[in-house]
Chain A
Amino acid sequence: MDSNRIVMEEFQVTEDAKKKGGSTKGKKAKEKKGDESGSSGTSVKIIHMDPVNMEIDFIGFPISLINAYRRIVLAEVATMAIEKVYMYNNTSIIQDEVLAHRLGLVPLKVDPRYFEFRNKDETEWGAQDSVKYELKIKCEKNPRASEHETDCDVISLNRKVLSSSLKWVPIGNQPDIFQPESMQPLHDDILLAKMNPGHLIHLEAYAVKGIGSDHAKFQPGLCWYRFLPEIELTREVEGLEAELLQKCFSPGVINIVDKPDGKKVAEVSDARNDTCSRNVFEYDDIKDSVKLTRKTDHVILYVESHSALKSFEILDEAVNIMIGKCDTLLTEIENHIEGSAA
């Protein structure tokens, strides 16, 4: 398979001269198709994975597909977030609407895959589409604090309202399906409001399922990608120049090795970690020694979760949504063909 590269020069980015020549569309397109339909040529490799972060390599895939996944993660993978707040009493200094907005941004542990999207005209809060929370908290003087105490956090009890004081209130048959631990906010130390003695907050909040293009609070996490960088040394770089070259790149990219004849020579150890800053072009005496390229058919995709879904579940959901899109259109076309045949 021919590898596609772009070359990062001092003032421009160009296609690699090695592979240039002739038409780019017609003939190439056919070759490429052969590659894609077979399982050769394309591969996926997980570099790092944990529930929060994931780094995964897509080799040989069209960039439009990777970008589609990225867009779906940001805009279309559903999560649960607080959408409606009924404020019964709020005598704290934080305004109702500000507090409601802050509540909306709190990530919840609730797994969205157990829930349905809520109907727009719905007036009831159903067990299948909503999660109820209650927050009832009062700030009082701490009777045990000494008279000379000056620290507000000690003088008053419940001075800080944290996300842990949001209490899940089951609706309908929810207690049979869910455990209280799996319905709480994802982090229990998110500061929602600060109060003084005598202040009171009492509210009810309802969480629903939603998608990121509606509101960013529904985003399951972050997703971004970059092409694999490659660095090629075109001549030997030694001594002080080698040290300078090492400083031009991210840590760990360039190594300096001792040669048997006593020379200290620069060597590329791991170009993957490079940020592609092109700092090397600042120095006229070493800028001719490197060729910076990026492989356009090797994409490093990062997924970072800040919701109930784990990083790899987010990616899996994104692919499923893409398949769903194709499916809806395919059934629509089938229906049309059947309709016109009848």
Chain B
Amino acid sequence: MPVGADGFRLPNVNEREAKNKLEWLTGPGQDEYCRTFIINDEDHTLGNALKHVLMQNPDVSYCGYTVPHPMERKIHVRIQSEKREALSILCDALKDLKSQNEAVRKMIKDEVQKYREIYPEAGTRDQS
């Protein structure tokens, strides 16, 4: 698992440096339509889900993600497109992922509600 600057623990939310969450690589092979984004403080959790959503977009000709080094807490997300700017595709993918999650949240909430109506004792912890 990733480690913090002191070699032991991860920086928590309050300790994040004023580093940008999102950056991108420059150099050959990088332009408006084909770009490698660096997402700091993320791992496979977001990377794989985001890649999956990006793959659903027909405008994307290639996309993939990688964790460049297991001890550095960041991922690289490569997006290549022939039709639209990579940044707007990434933005759309994030919005898509967010709305998917919000749908799941609502579904779970409704289901828990329904389940509790049938089994009212399900929400209480019978512990001394």
Contacts and interface: CB of A to CB of B under 8 A. Distances in A.
Interface of A: 25-26, 29-30, 32-33, 36, 39, 42-46, 49-52, 56, 58, 61-62, 64-65, 67-68, 71-72, 75-76, 116-120, 186-188, 210-211, 213-215, 310, 312, 315-316, 319-320, 322-323, 325-330, 332-333, 336-337
Interface residues of B, number: 52
A62 B111 contact: no
Interface string B93-122: 011011011111101110110110001001
Given A50-B122, A327-B98, A211 B22 contact: no
A30 B52 CA distance: 13
B21 A328 contact: yes
A43 B106 CA distance: 11
Contacts of A332: 20-22
Given A25-B55, A214-B10, A46 B102 contact: no
B102 A333 contact: no
Q: Give the top 4 A-B pairs by smallest Cβ distance, nearest first.
A: A326-B98, A64-B52, A44-B107, A51-B125
A213 B10 contact: yes
B58 A323 contact: no
Contacts of A336: 22, 87
Nearest to B110: A44
A310 B127 CA distance: 12
A152 B44 CA distance: 52
Nearest to B11: A120
Contacts of A120: 11-12, 14-15
A67 B45 CA distance: 7
A29 B96 CA distance: 14
B48 interface: yes
14 contacts: A44-B104, A58-B104, A65-B104, A67-B48, A68-B48, A71-B43, A117-B13, A117-B14, A187-B127, A210-B12, A315-B108, A319-B108, A330-B91, A330-B94
B107 to A, nearest CB: 4
B64 interface: no
